[in-house]
Amino acid sequence: MSATTAETPRLRPTRALILRGLLLAGLLILALLPLLNRLPPDHALHASDFIVSVSGKWMCYAMLALAIDLAWGYAGILSLGHGAFFALGGYAIGMHLMRLIGPRGVYGHPVLPDFMVFLGWTELPWYWWGFQFFPFALLMALAVPGLLAGLLGWLAFRSRITGVYLSIITQAMTYALMLAFFRNDMGFGGNNGFTDFKELLGMKLNTAGARAALFYAALLSLSGAVLLCRHLTRSKLGRVLVAVRDAESRVRFLGYSTVSVKLSVFVLSAMLAGLGGALYVPLVGIINPGEFSPGNSIEAVIWVAVGGRGTLVGALLGAFSVNAVKTWLTSFAPDLWLFALGGLFVAVTLFLPRGLIGLMRKGEER
């Protein structure tokens, strides 16, 4: 790794306080949103359904950003395939939701989802077993991305594949998964993926109550994830991580097993992404192979870069701000959005290597 990314973010107390205040205020506003949604529409503080659903989505994105930040900002592992972990988590919950549809599908088959009936399948494939139980599906939403990351990371870190090579391999991974999930005979709904979900944990999905519940679930998970990452990055492991990022061979010579350090953080990061995806799918009501596209993963990386990698607040800030701009811009000038996103890539890497958080720190050091 180059020396330009060398230091751990250390903010001056006052600024750290401001940031923490902002973070808390943000969380508070988010927590109030579903309640504000209940206010009459003409009330000044009324939050529209759109705002609520969009911010629910953004919280899932923020978890993905957090996951990328943990791997990239702290451990120096730039994964261009985190969207795959996100999508795998989503698919795991999607499978549960599909099983819950039961006989209410178009074809009315008691067990098989519609697309399987359509393909003429008569039996549930073995990898769909157990997904009728929510805890199992949730476990899979964490375990599958974790295992995949573990396997990939073990192979890569063991043979000391780092930097750009690792990025390209992770990109190839998500690309391969996208191709695979597009196939009908994989048993994951092919092109169309999963949609038309009915209920989750006994709640009808298209009711206001279910939406609020899912929203709070996302908020709680995000807060939990932030706390976990905060704890992790401040622990001894976190310091080793940063050391690995900045001078891996030196850490190795000091007697640390850099492979296991990197592997554990990579797996944890993948599981976080998977959790984000698992929350995302019931919120948006659809999952399809497009989520695996390499473009999605790299877009998520740019959230972190915009916010400021190597700081947890930065990842959250980036995910929310970039997506806010995206939502705003695509609503009136969809053609411009890709220019803006491309320009963001260029501008951030050239002028804001530490992202928006870096701006706040300007003049503080050096």
Partner 1 sequence: MRVLCLVMALFLLLAAPLRAQDRFETLAAGLSGGFGAQVETVERLGALGDARALPLLQALGEGRLQKRADGTLLLEQDGTVVEAVAGTPAAPGETVRINNRVRAALRGALGRLQLVAPQEGARLQAADGLFRSRSADNIPLLEQALAREAAPLVRARMELALAASRLVAADEAARRQGIEILSGSGSAEARSLLLEARAANPALAAPIDAAIAAIDARLQIRQAAETVFQGLSLGSILLLAALGLAITFGVMGIINMAHGEMVMLGAYTTVMVQEGFRGVPWLAPWSLPVSVPAAFLVTAAVGVALERGLIRHLYGRPLETLLMTFGVGMILQQAVRLLFGAQNREVVSPAWMQGTLALPGDITVTQNRLWIILFALVVLGLAVAAIRFTRFGLEMRAVVQNRRIAATMGIRTGRVDAMTFAFGSGIAGMAGVALSQVDNVSPNLGTGYIIDSFMVVVFGGVGSLAGTMIGAFTLGIVNKLLEPWAGAVLAKIAVLVGIMLFIQRRPKGLFALKGRAAEQ
Q: Which residues form the interface with partner 1 (CB under 8 A)? A: 2, 4, 78, 152, 155, 158-161, 163-165, 167-169, 171-173, 175-176, 179-180, 182-183, 294-295, 298, 301-302, 305, 335, 338-339, 341-346, 348-350, 353
* Structure-block tokens of residue 236: 């001894």
Cβ pair 95, 194 in contact under 8 A: yes
Cβ pair 67, 272 in contact under 8 A: yes
CB of 346 to partner 1, least distance (A): 5
CB of 178 to partner 1, least distance (A): 10
Q: Which is nearer to partner 1, 96 or 354 (CB)?
A: 354
CB of 90 to partner 1, least distance (A): 20
CB of 312 to partner 1, least distance (A): 20
CB of 344 to partner 1, least distance (A): 7
CB of 356 to partner 1, least distance (A): 16
Cβ pair 173, 292 in contact under 8 A: no
Q: Which is nearer to partner 1, 115 or 131 (CB)?
A: 115
CB of 319 to partner 1, least distance (A): 16
Q: CA–CA separation, 218 vs 221, rounded Å?
A: 5
Q: Which is nearer to partner 1, 114 or 299 (CB)?
A: 299
Q: Which is nearer to partner 1, 265 or 301 (CB)?
A: 301
Q: Which is nearer to partner 1, 45 or 350 (CB)?
A: 350
Cβ pair 355, 305 in contact under 8 A: yes
Q: Which is nearer to partner 1, 20 or 160 (CB)?
A: 160
Q: Which is nearer to partner 1, 163 or 209 (CB)?
A: 163
CB of 151 to partner 1, least distance (A): 10
CB of 302 to partner 1, least distance (A): 7
Q: Is 285 helix (H, G, I), strand (E, B) or coil?
A: coil
Q: Which is nearer to partner 1, 105 or 189 (CB)?
A: 189
Round the CA-based radius of gyration of the chain to a whole number and report it: 21
Q: Which is nearer to partner 1, 117 or 352 (CB)?
A: 352
91 backbone dihedrals φ, ψ, rounded to 5°:
-65, -35
